[in-house]
Chain A
Amino acid sequence: MTMESGRDSYDIKQILNEMRSEYWQALEEVEVDQSTETAEYVLVRIHSDLFALEVQSCREVLRLPRIVKVPRAGKQILGIINIRGEIIAVTDLRPALDYPAHLQQEKTRLVVVRAAGLTTALLVDRVEGIVRFDAGAIETLTDGLSGARRDMVGGQIVYKEEMVVLLDLEKMFGSQEFVIDQKEEQSF
C-alpha cells in the first residue's frame, strides 16, 4: 500500500491556522453566551458517517505521508509513518466500525491524536472542521447505529440533520484492541 504523495505534503500549517481561527471565533461566540457548558470537537467523516473527536486530544492534521505497512500487526494498524523523526502508528478504525477498507484518496487525512498516554494517527476520509456542542445535547448511543460499538463511543448528537457519534479516544486506546503487544516481554 504505497500512498506516495511527497514529503512536502504536510499542509499542517494551513489546516491548523484554519482550525485556530475557527477556534478563536468559537471562543468569541462563547463569551457572548455562557449560559450552557459546551465543548469543542474535531468533526471527521469515516466512510459515510460523522464522528467527533475531542479537540483537546487532537494534535495536527496531515495529508497522507508515505505509510509503511507493518505485517502481522493487525487490520486496525494501517502502518507506521515518520512525523518529525518520531515513528507513529496509523490507526484504521474502519475494520472496528465494520466499514469497507476503501481509500478515498482526495480528502483522506490523518488526525494525530493523543489519548491514553499514546500518540496515534487516525485515518479519516475527510476532516469537516471544528464544532462546538452543548454538553446537555449529547445523548447516549442508539443501538445499532453506524456500526460503532458502545465501548468506543461517548455518546451521539444531532448536527445539521446528521447524526454525529462522539468517539471516546481514552477508552479506545486504553483497550488492548488498539495496542499491539505480541511478545509480552517480561519486565524484571
Chain B
Amino acid sequence: MSLQKYIEIFAREAEEHLQSLRHGLLAIETQGATPELIHELLRNAHTIKGSAMMVGLEQIAELTHQMESLFAGFESGSRELTPGCVDVLLLATDTVEELLARVQAGDQSKVEVGSVLEGLKNGKLAQVPVVAAGSESVTGAGRERNKTVRASVERLDVLVNQLGELLIARQEFDDKIRQIRQLNRQFEEFMAVLRKDDNCEKAKSLLAKYSRMANDLEQSTFALGYQAEELHASAMQLRMMPLSTITEDLVRMVRDLGREQGKSVTLDVEGESLELDRVLLDEIKPMLMHMVRNAVDHGVEAKEERAACGKPEQSLIRLKARYEGGKAQLVLSDDGRGIDPHSVRKAAVDKKLLSQSEAGSMSDEESVYLILRPGFSTRTFVTDISGRGVGMDIVKTNIDRIKGNLLIDSVPGAGTAMQLTFPLSTAVFTSLLAESDGEKYAIPLNYVAEVLRLNDADILQELGREVVRVHGETIPLFSLTALLNPGSSDRVAGRRISAVILHFRNRKIACLVSRIIGEQDIVVKNMGKQLKSVEFFSGATILGDGSPALILSIPDLFGSGINQGKTRLSEEIDAYSAAQKKGRILVVDDSITTRTMEKNILETHGYQVTIAVSGFDALEKLDAGSFDLMVSDVEMPGMTGFELTRKVRQREETKTLPVIICTSLATDEHKRLGMEVGAQAYIVKGNFDQGTLLDTVAALIA
C-alpha cells in the first residue's frame, strides 16, 4: 500500500479526533472542564500524534504533541486551564486541520507553525494567527477553469455495472424473440393445412402482419442491443488508462534493484501505450512487480558470470504488451540464466515447500512454476526501494481475479519468458454455462479449451484413474459434482456425457458436467459480505431468468480440488498454506492508521494477522484463537497496553506469549514500566520503521 493510501486512512481517522477536540474545547468554554473530558481530549491529541508519526507528518505530530503536553499539564495540575489556553488549543486544532487538508491535496510544503507551538507552550495566543493567510491555497481557484470533471472510480464502476446489467437484459429479449419465431413457424405450418376460404385468407393476412411485427421487434432489439454495447464500451473507455501508468515505476525499480545487486540491467517496455481497464491495471501491477523482481533476482546473472558465458555485460528485460484475439497479452522475457528445473526443485525441497519424493516425480516443465510459489524466493519481497509490500501469493490470487493464465517458457542459459494472458474486462466476460447436480455454473471462457461429448466407452482407465484421450493427449477426468462435493459422485453410465476441457497453466483436465447450456456474457457480482470468499468460486452472476449462478474459480479447482497425490498443483497449494503459517500475530491498537500499517507490513511478510481495537477486544480474541505473538499500543481507551500485557501474563494460556509494545510514549519511565509488566520488546513509533518491527517479531517468534 502506498504512503498516500495510509495518509488517506490517517486523514479519516484524524478528522474524527479533530472534531472531538473542537467539540470538547467548545464544551469547556461553555460548560467548564471535567477530568474525563480533559483525558478524552488528551487521548485525541495523543492518537493523532502517534498516527502522524507513523505516516511521517512531523508538523502535525509536533503540534499534537504540544497539545497533549498541555492537556497532561491540566490533568496533573501543573498547568492552569485558562480561556487563553482554550483559544490557543482551538487555533492548534485548526492548524492541524489545515496541515491535513494540504497533505491530502498533495501539498507537502510546510506551514509556519512556530507561533502556534509557542502559544501552546505559553498557554496563550500569539499575536498573529498563521492560518488565515495560508488557507486559500488549498481551496484554491486553480482547478475551476479545467474542462474535465473528476469522477470517483466507484461511480464509474457503478455505471459500468449498470450497463453490464443492460446487456444481460438484452439477452432476455433475444430469448423471447427466438420464442416468437418458433410460434410463427408453428402458425405457418398450421395455416398450410387449412383450406382456402375467407377466414383462412383473413388469418393469413393477420399472420403476415404478425410476422412483420416480429421482424421489426427483432430489428429494434438488435439496435437497442447494439447501442447498449456501444454505451458499455464507452463507459469502459472512461476507466481505461495506458499501461505506462504502471510500467514507469517498474523501469525505476529494475534500475534500483540492479544497482543494489551489482547487476547491470534495464527494462525495455514495448506497447506501453496499450490501454487497459484501470481495475485490471490495479490487479496486474503487483503481479508484474513480482515477476520483474523475480527476473532481476534470479534470472539476470552477475556481471562476471555473464562475461564468462560470453554475454554482453548489460542484460535486458523486455516487457511486451499487445492485444491478441480479444485478450491482452503481456510477455516478460529476460536474457539471463534461465530456470534450471533441477536446482529449482532442490531449493523448493530445502525450503520445505516440497518433499523429496514429490520433487523426484515432478516433471521439468512443471518445476519451473515452483518459482511463483510463495516462500520460494530467497529475497524478502519488500525492500526499501519499492516501499510497498507485494504479497507473495499475489500472482495466484490476482490471476484468479482477472481470469488470466500464466505460461512460463525457460531455456537454461538463454533466459526466461513469462506470458500472461487475460480478458480485457473484469466486469463483463464471456463464460460457458454448464449444469451440474441441478445447478448452473459459469466457467470463464478463457479457461475452456473445448467441449466434448463422450460415450462411456471413451473413458479409459490409467493408473487407477479415469482419463479421456483427446487429439492424442491423455487428460484426467473429474466429475464437477464430485469436485465440489467431496464424497459424492454422479457418473452417468451408458449415456452420452458432456465434458468441458479446462486448461490452466500447462495442465488440462476434463470436467464432467450433466449438461452444457452454452456461452453467455455475464456480469460479475460479489457474493455479499457474508460470503467473503468461498473456495472454488470467484463470484456469482444473475442469469436471464433472474436466478443466481456461481462462477467457478478454475485456479482453485486446479489448486486443491483435484484429489491428493495425483497432481502437483494440489500439493503446491498445500505447501503454500503451510508456509503461510509463519506465525499468528495479534495486533492491538485503537488507531486505524497504525493497525492497518502494522497489519500490512506483517502480512506482507507472511504472518497471519488478527486485529483488536482495544484491550478488551484483544483478550476476547486471545480467548477465541491461539497466537504466537502480540503487538500492542499503550494509550488506548478502557485498558492500556500495559494493563493488557499484565493480564496476558497472568493468564495460564498466554503466560508465555511474546508481547511487543509499540507506542509513541518514549520516556525511560514508560519503557521501564513496559518491561515490568512483562513485555519482551518496546518499540517507539517515532523511529518506527518496518525493519525494527520485523526484526523484533522474527527474533521473538522463532
Binding site for B on A (CB under 8 A): 2, 7, 66, 68-73, 77, 80-82, 85-89, 91, 117-120, 173, 178-188
Centre residue among B388, B438, B530, B548 by max chain A CB count within 10 A: B530
Is the Cβ of A82 less than 8 Å from the Cβ of B548? yes
- Give the contacts of B507-530 with A (CB-CB under 8 A): 525-530
Give Cα A160–Cα B219 distance, bound, in whole angstroms.
64
Are B535 and A87 in touch, CB under 8 angstroms?
Answer: no
Max chain A C-beta neighbours (<10 A), residue from B548, B600, B604: B548
Q: List 30 A-B contacts (CB under 8 A).
A: A2-B438, A7-B546, A68-B440, A68-B547, A69-B439, A70-B527, A70-B550, A73-B531, A77-B530, A80-B527, A82-B542, A82-B547, A82-B548, A85-B165, A88-B528, A89-B531, A117-B529, A173-B530, A180-B532, A180-B533, A182-B533, A182-B534, A183-B556, A185-B533, A186-B393, A186-B394, A187-B603, A188-B388, A188-B390, A188-B603
A184 to B648 CA separation, bound complex (whole angstroms): 27
Give me the interface of B with A, judged by CB distance under 8 Å: 1, 165, 286, 388-391, 393-394, 397, 438-440, 484-485, 525-537, 540, 542, 545-550, 556, 599-600, 603-604
Q: Which residues of A contact B1 (CB under 8 A)?
A: 188
Most central of A68, A89, A179 by chain B CB within 10 Å: A68
Residue contact B533 to A68, C-beta cutoff 8 Å: no
- Smallest Cβ distance from B168 to chain A, in angstroms? 10
Kindly report which residue of chain A lies nearest to residue B485, judged by CB atoms.
A71
Residue of A nearest to B393 (CB): A186
B542 to A87, Cβ gap below 8 A?
yes
Chain A: CB-nearest residue to B391: A186
Closest A residue, CB atoms, query B525:
A87
Is B542 a contact of A85 with CB atoms below 8 Å?
Answer: yes
Residue on B nearest A178 in the bound complex, by CB = B530
Q: How far is the CA of A88 from the CA of B525 in the complex (A)?
A: 11
Q: Return the contact of B531 from the options A7, A77, A85, A184 (Cβ within 8 A).
A: A77
B393 adjacent to A70 (CB under 8 Å) = no
Per the bound structure, the CA–CA distance linking A39 and B550 in Å amounts to 39
Q: Which of B532, B542, B549, B604 contacts A188 (CB 8 A)?
A: B604
Residue of A nearest to B481 (CB): A71
Residues of A near B537 (CB, < 8 A) are 70
Report Cα–Cα, A70/B537, bound state, in Å.
9
**CB–CB B603/A182 < 8 A:** no
Chain A residue, CB-CB nearest to B168: A85
Q: How far is the CA of A84 from the CA of B599 in the complex (A)?
A: 36
Choose one: A66, A182, A185; the contact of B547 (CB below 8 Å).
Answer: A66
The 3 tightest CB contacts between A and B, nearest first, are: A118-B529, A71-B484, A183-B533
Contacts of B534 in A (CB 8 A): 70, 72-73, 180, 182-183
Residues of the B chain whose Cβ atoms lie less than 8 Å from the Cβ of A72: 484-485, 534-536
Q: Is the CB of B530 within 8 A of A180?
A: yes
B383 to chain A, nearest CB (A): 15
- Is the beta-carbon distance between B532 and A179 smaller than 8 angstroms? yes
Query: Nearest Cβ in chain B — how far from A55, in angstroms?
Result: 21
Q: Are A80 and B548 in contact (CB under 8 A)?
A: yes
Q: Which of B525, B532, B535, B603 contacts A186 (CB under 8 A)? A: B603
Residues of B within 8 A of A91 (CB): 530
In the complex, A88 Cα to B547 Cα: how many Å?
Answer: 12
Closest partner residue, chain B, to A185 (CB atom)? B397
A71 CB contacts on chain B under 8 angstroms: 484-485, 536
Given A179-B532, A180-B532, list of 10 further CB < 8 A pairs? A2-B438, A7-B546, A80-B531, A80-B540, A85-B542, A91-B530, A119-B530, A183-B397, A185-B397, A188-B391
Q: Which residues of A contact B540 (CB under 8 A)?
A: 80, 87
* CB-contact partner of B394 in A88, A180, A188, under 8 A: A188
Contacts of B550 in A (CB 8 A): 68, 70, 80
Write out the residue numbers on chain B whose beta carbons fall within 8 Å of the beta carbon of A73.
531, 534
Question: In the complex the two chains form, what is the Cα distance from A17 to B166 in whole Å?
Answer: 32
Query: Which residue of B has the minimal Cβ distance to A1?
Result: B438
B598 → chain A closest CB, angstroms: 13
**Closest chain A CB from B499 CB (angstroms):** 19
Least CB distance from B539 to A in Å reads 9
Q: In the complex, A82 Cα to B546 Cα: how many Å?
A: 7
- Please, which residues of chain B bring their CB within 8 A of the CB of A185? 397, 533
- Are B528 and A86 in contact (CB-based, < 8 A)? yes
